[in-house]
Amino acid sequence: MPSGKLDGKVAVVTGGSRGIGAAVATRFAEEGASVVIGYRSGGEEASELAAKLEGSGARCLAVKADVASPEQTSALFDRTVEAFGRMDVLASCAGINHFGGLQELTPEMANQLFGVNTQGQLFAAQQAARHMTAGGRIILTSSNASRRSIFQHTLYAASKAAVEAMVRCLSIELGQRGITINAVAPGATKTDMAAKNAVKYQPPGLGLSAEEWLSLSYALDHVATPAEVAGAYVFLAGDDAGYISGRTLQTESCVF
Ligand SMILES: NC(=O)c1ccc[n+]([C@@H]2O[C@H](COP(=O)([O-])OP(=O)(O)OC[C@H]3O[C@@H](n4cnc5c(N)ncnc54)[C@H](OP(=O)(O)O)[C@@H]3O)[C@@H](O)[C@H]2O)c1
């Protein structure tokens, strides 16, 4: 029986109740990790996934934690160590999307976007690192939107660009302790988030359907599935990525 890439590791996946996070939790469990599935509102989905993964032989736990709350984030990692005795890998997948024109933006919207997508990931990294020893892996989630010009996507794109800056800077501090920190920047991936927003990524006035736009936009022949994107997180969590830090791994090239 071949051994898994993450045998004996303990991993926390925020945003693990749905979409990319659920696929990452599944792949981590298949690779031998014990997995804590963090969720905000999807308690039922998170518990169902935990039960399914446990049924396949993994150790798994669903824990409610809003990453916009540093206290809840801190408690998520305390609970992980209490349950499984150590903390090796963070996959920070929780995120929210936003589109809006400049004159419609409010401080509340900016606080919400940066509170979840940027601060939420910063304090998840901080609290994960508090429990990690040498060999720890922190993987945050950016987006290919961070480097593109997308109509009325300012808050989201900025909140994700900040994540790429954070991993570059934190790689030095965490590197001193033998911990790597990187980000994955997915392109369009078939999840609830994409179903709601994919059509909005085209230039104004083009008028294409989501399917038409996506088929023009991406280098590969189909829109990514969450499982395909999860492979990038498995790579960054595993031994083969032991000397990669401060980097952002984009999952495919974007034609526009
Ligand atoms: N899908 C794409 O095309 C795409 C492209 C680029 C980047 N991304 C990024 O990839 C990540 C996952 O996206 P997705 O498409 O899988 O999104 P999704 O289907 O909308 O799922 C979002 C996940 O984030 C969780 N979440 C949201 N706010 C949270 C909070 N405050 N605290 C804790 N959990 C929270 C949700 O939990 P609950 O359901 O429990 O509320 C859910 O598990 C995000 O960071 C997103 O920005 C996605």
Q: Which domains does the chain have, with CATH numbers?
A: 10-191+226-249 (3.40.50.720)
Supply the DSSP string of 210-237, one letter for each residue: HHHHHHHHBSSSSPBPHHHHHHHHHHHH
Q: Counting atoms of ligand 1 from 1, which one is nearest the CA of 20?
A: 16
Predicted confidence (pLDDT) per residue in 12-68, tens digit:
999 999 999 999 999 999 999 999 999 999 999 999 999 999 999 999 999 999 999
Å from CA of 154 to ligand 1 middle: 18
Predicted confidence (pLDDT) per residue in 204-254, tens digit:
999 999 888 888 878 888 889 999 999 999 999 999 999 999 999 999 877
Å from CA of 95 to ligand 1 middle: 4
Mean pLDDT of the region 60-83: 98
- Rounded to an integer, what distance in angstroms lies between the CA atom of residue 22 and that of residue 53? 11
CA distances from residue 232 to 36, 170, 185, 227, 229 in whole angstroms, order as listed? 19, 20, 9, 10, 6
* Ligand 1 proximity of 18 Cβ (cutoff 6 Å): yes
Give residue 1's pLDDT: 45
Enzyme catalytic residues = 142-143, 156, 160
Assign 3-class secondary structure to 158-169.
HHHHHHHHHHHH
| Selection from 189, 198, 174 nearest residue 220 by Cα | 189
- Residue of 20, 112, 223 best suited for mutating to test ligand 1, as the one with most atoms within 8 Å of CB: 20
The first and second tokens of residue 150, run together, are 């997308």
Å from CA of 192 to ligand 1 middle: 8
Predicted confidence (pLDDT) per residue in 124-174, tens digit:
999 999 999 999 999 999 999 999 999 999 999 999 999 999 999 999 999
What percent of the residues of the chain are helix, what percent strand, and what percent coil, each to the nearest 5?
Answer: 50, 15, 35
Q: For 254, which DSSP code?
A: B
- Rounded to an integer, what distance in angstroms lies between the CA atom of residue 225 and that of residue 227? 5
Residue whose token pair is 């934190």: 170
Strand runs labelled E in 40-155: 60-64, 89-92, 137-141
